[in-house]
C-alpha cells in the first residue's frame, strides 16, 4: 500500500487566501495602502528570503525577524514598528486562515474509505500550521503531522524526509508518494528522497527547473483514481 505524504499550503489548505487576509490586516494596522503594487512589493521581499532559506543560506529565525523590516523599508512605512512584533501579529492572523482547497475534504473522505495511510509534511511553523490544520477539520485523517520547525529540517532537504521515514512503519521508501504544489520543495524533496512525486498543478503551469514530477494532477479527486490503479 502506498503511504501518502501531503503538503498543506496551497495543496490542502488555501494559503494564498490566508496570506491575503493576514497581510490586509497588517496593512490596515500600519496605515499602508492596500493595493496590488504594495502587496507585490511585500511578496517580492518575502519570497526572496524564503528562497535563501530553502537554499540553506539563512535560518528560519532570520527570515521571520527580517522580512517585515525589509518590506516596510521598501514600502516607506512611517509608523513606528518592531519587525519581530509585526511578524508575530502577522503569524497570529495567518493561523486563523483555514479555508480548504477545492475538493480537499472530499479527497480526505474518499482516501479514508480506502484505508489509505496519510501524513502531513509541511514547511510551516507550528503556531501557524497546527491551528490551520485542526480548525479546517482534516487533522483526524492523518496518522501524524510533520512540521519542519519541529523536525529541525525543511523540505526539500533529505534530512527532513529521513526523519519522516524513521517515524513511519513502511517496508521501504518505494511505498511513499508525496503530493504538493511546489516543484522546488515538494517535488524536488521527493525526488531527492527517492519517492514518487505528484505535482498538484490546478493552474496548469509548465514544469521548470530540475524537479520533474512523476505525475501531475489538476484536481485533488484524481488521487483516489490513481490509488486504485496502483499509483
Provide the whole-model pTM.
0.91
Residue 20, C-beta contacts closer than 8 angstroms, at least 6 positions apart: 39
Residue 197, C-beta contacts closer than 8 angstroms, at least 6 positions apart: 177, 178, 186, 187, 190, 191, 211, 213, 214, 215
The per-residue pLDDT for range 9-36, each reduced to its tens digit, is 999 999 999 999 999 999 999 999 999 9
Cβ(199)–Cβ(181) below 8 Å: yes
Question: Which are the catalytic amino acids?
Answer: 7, 9
What does the alpha-carbon distance between residue 90 and residue 87 come to, in Å, rounded to a whole number?
5
Assigned fold of 3-14+98-228: Rossmann fold (3.40.50)
**Domain boundaries in the chain?**
3-14+98-228, 16-95
- β-pairing, 196-200 vs 215-217, is parallel
CATH match of 16-95 with 1.20.58.1910 = no
Does the fold of domain 16-95 match that of domain 3-14+98-228? no
Nearest to 146 by CA among 132, 169, 130: 130
Nearest to 190 by CA among 158, 222, 149: 158
The per-residue pLDDT for range 84-133, each reduced to its tens digit, is 999 999 999 999 999 999 999 999 999 999 989 999 999 988 999 999 99
Amino acid at each position: 500500500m502506498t503511504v501518502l505524504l501531503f503538503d498543506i499550503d496551497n495543496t490542502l489548505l488555501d494559503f494564498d487566501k490566508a496570506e491575503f487576509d493576514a497581510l490586509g490586516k497588517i496593512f490596515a494596522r500600519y496605515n499602508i495602502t492596500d493595493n496590488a503594487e504594495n502587496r507585490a512589493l511585500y511578496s517580492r521581499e518575502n519570497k526572496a528570503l524564503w528562497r535563501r532559506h530553502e537554499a540553506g543560506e539563512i535560518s528560519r529565525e532570520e527570515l521571520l525577524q527580517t522580512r517585515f523590516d525589509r518590506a516596510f523599508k521598501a514600502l516607506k512605512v512611517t509608523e513606528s514598528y518592531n519587525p519581530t512584533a509585526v511578524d508575530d501579529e502577522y503569524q497570529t492572523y495567518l493561523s486563523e486562515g483555514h479555508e480548504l482547497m477545492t475538493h480537499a475534504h472530499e479527497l480526505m473522505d474518499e482516501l479514508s474509505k480506502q484505508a489509505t495511510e496519510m501524513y502531513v509534511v509541511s514547511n510551516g511553523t507550528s503556531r501557524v500550521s497546527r491551528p490551520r490544520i485542526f480548525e479546517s477539520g482534516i487533522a483526524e485523517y492523518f496518522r501524524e503531522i510533520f512540521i519542519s520547525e519541529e523536525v529541525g529540517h525543511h523540505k526539500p532537504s533529505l534530512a527532513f524526509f529521513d526523519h519522516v521515514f524513521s517515524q513511519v512503519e513502511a517496508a521501504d521508501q518505494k511505498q511513499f508518494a508525496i503530493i504538493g504544489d511546489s516543484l522546488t520543495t515538494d517535488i524536488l524533496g521527493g525526488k531527492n528522497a527517492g519517492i514518487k512525486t505528484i505535482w498538484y498543478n490546478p493552474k496548469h503551469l509548465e514544469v521548470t527547473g530540475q524537479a520533474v514530477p512523476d505525475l501531475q494532477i489538476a484536481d485533488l479527486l484524481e488521487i483516489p483514481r490513481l490509488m486504485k490503479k496502483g499509483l
